């Protein structure tokens, strides 16, 4: 999450858009993103040119040598009129056609529209962005762009039309670190949004498995086959695709798709699901894939997505998904059947309960993280429960940073989960046996199993309390008498 000077700069640019006549928040974000994307392309190009020069290798650049004006570092120094002409006539058409008609760039940007109306507004916005997004080598931050996206998306103060809301970056990073993606994984987010889970997974792999880029096969897999995301919102699809490409993934497999419909034919294709799917409420049976309905006969999206994850995962594949609390304790047949399916036929590993303010200002919904492995042969033994009290930010709409933060403890305890056997039900985390879960009707809410320890308070006998009250009353009366005498003497002296 960005703070301080960088946040103030973003706010200033946002205000510039609004005063310039672009007042739809999503339009502002989209136009802002195009410009960040264009600037990021130039910065990435500079890094590659420097690497090639350092290694003495030939390098065929992304930008044509005879058109230097396409680069941010050149056109950003032009006058407003010339800059606007270059942007509208050359730069924007260029980014929409990079790599030819069949390239991933042109596929995602083919419907993009540049709507900044005047040269003066473009010049002010470009000037604001020029000092905004520095390369990671200069700032020491791996994901400045991701933080900017998260802050920009926070400007959308309400949930989207399909019930989606943006997952905070630090929650995404926590989930990725819990799951520890490997260079061999095939990762999918069936409700990708701005591709936060995919970007965070890529950054994790760069940090923990940087040597994968030395292996041609793994490098090819990283750039071509590892990351998959589906999204129904065309604007978020473009933002997510640009986010992935700016984070160094050459060909992200991000597509327009309704994941719950018959359009999605993926069966046992992926090894890792990371998701915070939208919970719209209810869908018509006609709009849902038949094989999902066979697993759980329901119209509720939060249950259908769990069925989808099981269908999409290969055997041995893992899933970490955010779910609304109702999934954990709902009493309908559909609720119970999907929980029973995961517990009895696969391996449920962990339930991490999160406080209701985590998704503010979008929503105050209570939620949890469900972690399981697809086995198709059972395997649930002891399920780890954790009661998160704080995520490092206030739980009101302001979401200001605070000292209390359970995330480091969650990561540490999950890393050394064997030691949790010694924990009691009164602790913040503990194990619950699969037999106890079955006995409780597959209820997965932490409140069902946590023991609350009440401290015994001893009070004095009534006789002693009354004696103390009488003593205090006498002292008060003595004090009042003395105070009255002082006032009377004061009046006499004045006369």
422-451, pLDDT tens digit by residue? 899 999 999 999 999 999 999 999 999 999
| pLDDT at residue 141, rounded to an integer | 44
The rounded Cα 90 to chain-centroid distance in angstroms is 35
Decide if pLDDT at 142 tops 70.
no
Query: What average pLDDT does range 448-477 have in this prediction?
Result: 87
Decide if pLDDT at 412 tops 70.
yes
Sheet containing 187-189: which strands, arranged edge to edge? 253-256, 227-231, 187-189, 270-275, 313-324, 367-373, 347-354, 382-387, 429-433
- The more confidently predicted of residues 42 and 361 is 42
Decide if pLDDT at 159 tops 80.
no
What is the b/e burial string over 206-216, where b = at least 16 CB atoms within 10 angstroms of the residue's CB? eeebeebeeee
Count of CB atoms situated within 10 Å of the CB of 333: 11
pTM of full prediction above 0.85: no
Cα distance between residue 347 and residue 381, in whole Å? 8
User: 146: Cβ–Cβ under 8 A, 6 or more apart, which residues?
Assistant: 169, 196, 199, 200, 203, 243, 247
- Tell me the torsion sign for CA atoms 286, 290, 292, 297: positive
How many residues belong to the chain?
A: 495
The rounded Cα 276 to chain-centroid distance in angstroms is 8
- DSSP strand pairing (382-387 vs 429-433): antiparallel
| pLDDT at residue 98, rounded to an integer | 73
| pLDDT at residue 333, rounded to an integer | 93
pLDDT band at 329 (very low <50, low <70, confident <90, very high): very high
- The more confidently predicted of residues 371 and 453 is 371
Burial of 324 (0-12, 13-18, 19+ CB in 10 A): middle
| pLDDT at residue 138, rounded to an integer | 42
pLDDT band at 140 (very low <50, low <70, confident <90, very high): very low
* Cβ-contact 434, 383 below 8 angstroms: yes
Decide if pLDDT at 459 tops 50.
yes
Cα distance between residue 303 and residue 310, in whole Å? 11
Residue of 47, 53, 90 whose CA lies nearest to 68: 90
pLDDT band at 251 (very low <50, low <70, confident <90, very high): confident
Sequence ranges of the domains in the chain: 4-148, 161-448
| pLDDT at residue 144, rounded to an integer | 64
Count of CB atoms situated within 10 Å of the CB of 313: 27
> Which of 189-193, 222-226, 281-285 shows the lowest per-residue confidence on average (mean pLDDT)?
281-285
Q: Quick one: what percent of the chain has pLDDT higher than 70?
A: 89
Identify the bridge partners of residue 285 per DSSP, sorted by sequence position.
none
| pLDDT at residue 85, rounded to an integer | 97
Q: Is the peptide bond before 369 cis (omega within 30 degrees of 0)?
A: no
Cα distance between residue 162 and residue 324, in whole Å? 15
> Which of 161-165, 326-330, 399-403, 425-429 shows the lowest per-residue confidence on average (mean pLDDT)?
161-165
Topology of the domain comprising 4-148: Ferritin (1.20.1260)
Residue of 62, 63, 64, 91 whose CA lies nearest to 76: 91
Decide if pLDDT at 128 tops 60.
yes
User: 303: Cβ–Cβ under 8 A, 6 or more apart, which residues?
Assistant: 296, 327, 334, 335, 338
What are the tens digits of pLDDT across the range 175-212? 999 999 999 999 999 999 889 899 999 999 999 999 99
Can you list the pairs that 323-326 forms with residues at least 24 positions away whose Cβ atoms lie under 8 Å? 323/367, 323/368, 323/369, 323/370, 324/279, 324/365, 324/366, 324/367, 325/353, 325/365, 325/366, 325/367, 325/368, 325/445, 326/302
- The more confidently predicted of residues 131 and 72 is 72
Query: What average pLDDT does range 60-78 have in this prediction?
Result: 92
Distances (CA, A) of 431 to 32, 383, 417, 453: 46, 5, 10, 17
Query: What average pLDDT does range 81-86 have in this prediction?
Result: 97
What are the tens digits of pLDDT across the range 331-384? 999 999 999 999 999 999 999 999 998 988 767 788 999 999 999 999 999 999
| pLDDT at residue 103, rounded to an integer | 61
| pLDDT at residue 158, rounded to an integer | 43
Query: What average pLDDT does range 27-44 have in this prediction?
Result: 86
Cα distance between residue 300 and residue 281, in whole Å? 5
> Which of 11-20, 128-137, 339-348, 485-494 shows the lowest per-residue confidence on average (mean pLDDT)?
128-137
- DSSP strand pairing (313-324 vs 367-373): antiparallel
Q: Quick one: what percent of the chain has pLDDT higher than 90?
A: 51
Decide if pLDDT at 131 tops 80.
no
pLDDT band at 243 (very low <50, low <70, confident <90, very high): confident
pLDDT band at 239 (very low <50, low <70, confident <90, very high): confident
For the chain, the first-to-last Cα distance in angstroms comes to 71
| pLDDT at residue 30, rounded to an integer | 85
Decide if pLDDT at 485 tops 50.
yes
Q: Residue 69: CA atoms inside 13 Å, Cβ hemisphere, count?
A: 14
- Classify domain 161-448 at the CATH class level: alpha beta
Distances (CA, A) of 347 to 209, 322, 339, 368, 370: 27, 17, 11, 17, 11
Distances (CA, A) of 197 to 30, 40, 68, 176, 208: 20, 20, 35, 7, 16
Residue with tokens 């998704």: 359
| pLDDT at residue 100, rounded to an integer | 58
């Amino acid at each position: 999450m960005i703070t301080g000077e960088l946040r103030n700069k973003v706010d200033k640019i946002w205000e510039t858009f609004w005063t310039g006549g672009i007042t739809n928040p999503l339009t502002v974000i989209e136009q802002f993103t195009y410009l960040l994307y264009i600037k990021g392309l130039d910065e990435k190009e500079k890094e590659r040119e420097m690497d090639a020069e350092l290694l003495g290798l030939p390098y065929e650049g992304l930008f044509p040598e005879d058109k230097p004006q396409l680069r941010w570092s050149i056109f950003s120094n032009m006058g407003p009129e010339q800059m606007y002409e270059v942007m509208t006539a050359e730069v924007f058409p260029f980014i929409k056609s990079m790599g030819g008609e069949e390239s991933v760039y042109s596929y995602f940007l083919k419907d993009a529209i540049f709507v900044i109306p005047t040269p003066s507004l473009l010049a002010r916005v470009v000037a604001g962005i020029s000092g905004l997004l520095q390369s990671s080598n200069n700032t020491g931050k791996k994901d400045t762009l991701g933080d900017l996206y998260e802050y920009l998306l926070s400007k959308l103060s309400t949930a989207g039309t399909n019930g989606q809301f943006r997952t905070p970056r630090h929650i995404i990073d926590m989930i990725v670190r819990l799951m520890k993606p490997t260079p061999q994984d095939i990762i999918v987010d069936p409700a990708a949004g701005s591709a936060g889970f995919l970007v965070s997974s890529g950054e994790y792999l760069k940090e923990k498995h940087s040597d994968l880029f030395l292996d041609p096969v793994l490098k090819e897999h990283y750039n071509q086959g590892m990351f998959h995301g589906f999204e129904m919102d065309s604007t978020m699809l473009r933002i997510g695709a640009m986010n992935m490409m700016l984070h160094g993934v050459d060909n992200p497999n991000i597509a327009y798709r309704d994941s719950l419909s018959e359009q999605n034919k993926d069966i046992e294709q992926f090894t890792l699901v990371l998701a915070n799917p939208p919970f719209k409420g209810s869908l018509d049976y006609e709009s849902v894939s038949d094989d999902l309905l066979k697993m759980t006969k329901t119209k509720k999206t939060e249950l259908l997505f769990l069925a989808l994850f099981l269908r999409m995962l290969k055997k041995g594949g893992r899933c970490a998904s955010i779910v609304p609390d109702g999934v954990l304790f709902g009493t309908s047949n559909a609720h119970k059947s999907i929980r029973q399916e995961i517990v009895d036929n696969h391996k449920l590993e962990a339930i991490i309960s999160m406080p209701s303010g985590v998704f503010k200002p979008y929503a105050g919904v209570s939620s949890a993280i469900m972690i399981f492995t697809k086995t198709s042969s059972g395997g649930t033994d002891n399920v780890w429960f954790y009661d998160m009290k704080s995520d490092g930010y206030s739980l009101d709409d302001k979401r200001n940073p605070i000292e209390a933060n359970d995330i480091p403890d969650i990561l540490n305890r999950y890393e050394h989960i064997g030691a949790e056997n010694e924990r009691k039900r009164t602790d913040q985390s503990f194990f619950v046996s699969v037999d106890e879960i079955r006995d409780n009707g597959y209820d997965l809410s932490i409140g069902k199993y946590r023991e609350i320890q009440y401290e015994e308070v001893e009070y004095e006998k009534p006789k002693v309390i009354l004696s103390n009250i009488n003593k205090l009353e006498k002292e008060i009366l003595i004090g009042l008498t003395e105070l009255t005498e002082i006032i009377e003497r004061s009046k006499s002296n004045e006369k």
